[in-house]
Structures are given as structure tokens and as C-alpha cells.
Amino acid sequence: MRRSRDARPPRRRAAVAAAAVGGALLGLAGCTAPAPRTPAAGDSVDASPHRCGHGWRHPRPGTHTFTLHNTSATAAEIQLTDPRTGAVLGEAEGIAPGAVRTMRARLGAGTYAFVCFGDDADPVTGPAVRIRGRTTAGGTGPAAVPLTAHDLIPPTLDYQRWVTTRMTRLVSATGALRAAVRTGDVPAARSRWLTAHLAYARLGAAYDAFGDAGDAVDRTTAGLPRGLRDPGFTGFHRVEHGLWHHEPSATLLPATDRLARDVRALRTAWAGTRMDPADLGRRAHEILEDTLRAELTGRTDYGSGSGLATARAHVDATRAVLDRLRPYLRTRYPGLPALDRRLGRLARTLDAHARAHHGGRTPPARLGRTERARINAAVGDLTERLASVAALCDVRRTP
């Protein structure tokens, strides 16, 4: 996986959840909007800690549109919660002093309260508001109990241990690649290159923790002044370009030796690396997002045509993360069974492609229009669904 040299800016919760149309977090994390010029119809609620939740005057079953106004002198964050369970039904963060945001939430009969968070201040829970009467069609929600950093430490540590075991396989596969290049056996070297590269691709959620060591192993020519001839172009893609463009062994062998050294250095560095628990859910989304953006467009193809094989490895990488998060998602994400089914369907589609197209080494651009569209649509759909996972696993402040 990528890619600190192709890094994206930190994403806000609303940006992640905006892609989650149809997912479980549409109300929870996608509730904010830019300040409207004319306040939306509905209750005007104070989002500042000193008057948190005041102004909700029309509690009723159904969909509410709240106008949130921060009357304090510092930025504020606000959540609409069920005080009994702690579930969050809507949130808005980073509301500037004097600013206005809107929040939509579907509410049934029950008791609700706003919780406000100021900078460097304890959270404040506003007055409880009771909604009486029947719950309307669709019920309450969507809603989810927030996850804390403490919740995510065990699955993150388990994932780190899993990566450690896979590092040994990666080192072994890269050593086999190096041996084939040394003997001049190009067909064997190409086959072993793919095995080693896919072993690396399956470590998708750890890429941001790899740092410079990961850069050296999986760098592309993006941002390098001299492109393919730049001395900074190292790693799997450098060797890939040499193997599929008939590079003489005099220059290809040093590049392969360098890759083998960098992979061993990566394993050594990993032993002292600690992943941020807050990143785990977001990585599940970003793995297939990168697949859609890079592998399926050919941006990272330097001759092997293995983009779809890498996409298949990314499905495995995504499952490795979801398996660690599953105990938390079962009670928070109703879309989990559908997500699992669609991941399985994509895996079967890519496996069938590999059987029909030389082990998966046919570039996506050479596929028929229908087959390519079907694969792109499947990955795009999963990317949207995984945005809900990212939003649900975003660490939130709690009262």
C-alpha cells in the first residue's frame, strides 16, 4: 500500500461520512453543513458549553432539523445523544464562535440530550428532552455508541501482531525474488516479484505507520524530478519497471538488492512501531479507496499489468482490518452483513478474472468495457460502505 509521498490531508468526520450515503452513519457523522445564509426551519439550539442544548422547544417524533449556534468565544463541538445508552444520533464539530451549523436527526419516542464540548473544557450535558407519542415509520436513528481510544487498543495490537507474522513472509518472498534476478531467470523473477509485491499489498492498513521505510519499499515516480531515472526511485515498482522493460542485470540486480535490504529494514523498524488506534477504522476505508484511485487507473503499473491482482490483495487487507473491528461493528453497523457479502463478491469476481486472464496480469485498461465497469462499480460501492466503518470507528469525546 501507499503512500506517504502521496499522502492525503487529514480528513474530517463529515468528509468521510459524506461518502457513506446509505450507510449506518448518515445521521451520526454526516450531519453537518456549511453555515446557511438563512437559518433552516426548526429549533435553534445553543451549541456553546455554557447554554448547551437550550432552545429545543418543539420535541416531536420524526425528522428534526436543528440550527446550531455557537454563542461562546471559542470553537465548540456538539452531539445529540440518547442519555440512557450513550448512543450518538448526530454531531457537529469545529463550530467557530458565532457560527451556525445545521443538523438533521430522525427521532422516535424517548429522551434525548445535547452534549457540548469546548476547547480544553469538560463536556457539558444539556437539559433532557422527552419526546412522547408513537415512533414514526423508520424509528429512531441511525445512531451508534461512540468508540474510545481505549476500545480500539486491543484490535490495533492484534493487527500489529498479525503484521509482524506477515513480515517474515515478505522478507522470504523478497529474498526469492533477489535469487531469481541473480540467476537471470526473468520469467521466475517476474513470478516472484508478483508474489512478494502482493505480500506487501496485504499489509494495507499499516502503510502509514511504515514511514520512510515504507516509502523506500513502495515508492512511485510521483514527485521525483527525474522520473524513472531518479536515484530516489526505489522499491517494488523500480524492480517491476526493470523486469518488464528488459533492463540489463548490471543495473537491475543492484535495485533488487536494495529492495531486499529495505524490506529487511522495514521488518526491523516495525518491531518498534506502534500504530495509532484512532487510525484503524479509517485505514479499512482507505485501502480500497487507494485501489480505486491508483490500481484500477493504472497509475501504479510499471509494466507488470498486475493492478487487478493487487486489488485482490487489497480485499484481503481490508478483511484483515474488519476482522479485528468486527466485535464493535456487529452492534453498531447494521450494514456489516451486506459489506461482507459484497467483499466476497468482489473477491470472487477478481479470482474469476485471474483464472481467465493470465493470473490477473491483464491491465484494467485492456478489459472489456462491461467487465471494467463492473469491477470499478464494485470497488466504488465498497469504498462508500467502508466510509461508514471509518466514521463509526472515529474516536469521539464522551461525557
pLDDT in tens, the chain (399 residues): 554 434 443 333 433 333 333 333 334 433 444 443 333 347 899 999 999 999 999 999 999 999 999 999 999 999 999 999 899 999 999 999 999 999 999 999 999 999 999 877 789 999 999 998 765 555 676 788 999 999 999 999 999 999 999 999 999 999 999 999 999 999 999 999 999 999 999 998 787 778 888 889 999 999 999 999 999 999 999 999 999 999 999 999 999 999 999 999 999 999 999 999 999 999 989 999 999 999 999 999 999 999 999 999 999 999 999 999 999 999 899 999 999 999 999 999 999 888 877 665 688 888 889 989 999 999 999 999 999 999 999 888 887
What does the block give as the cell for 244? 518488464
Cα–Cα distance measured from residue 270 to residue 79, given in angstroms and rounded to the nearest whole number: 37
Q: Is 61 helix (H, G, I), strand (E, B) or coil?
A: coil
Task: Please say whether the beta carbons of 282 and 16 come within 8 A.
Answer: yes
Cα–Cα distance measured from residue 343 to residue 333, given in angstroms and rounded to the nearest whole number: 16
Please report which residue ranges of the chain form alpha helices under DSSP H.
13-18, 149-183, 186-201, 207-218, 236-244, 249-270, 280-293, 307-329, 336-356, 369-392
Task: Please say whether the beta carbons of 87 and 41 come within 8 A.
Answer: no
Nearest residue to 213 (alpha-carbon basis) of 286, 270, 287? 270
What does the block give as the cell for 71? 454563542
Cα–Cα distance measured from residue 11 to residue 118, given in angstroms and rounded to the nearest whole number: 21
Cis amide leading into 3 (omega within 30): yes
What does the block give as the cell for 166? 506477515
Task: Please say whether the beta carbons of 346 and 315 come within 8 A.
Answer: yes
Neighbours of 356 (CB within 10 A): 11
Task: Please say whether the beta carbons of 82 and 130 come within 8 A.
Answer: no
CB burial of residue 66 (10 Å; 0-12, 13-18, 19+): buried
Q: What are the residues whose beta carbons fall under 8 Å from the beta carbon of 93, sequence distance 6 or more?
A: 12, 13, 14, 32, 77
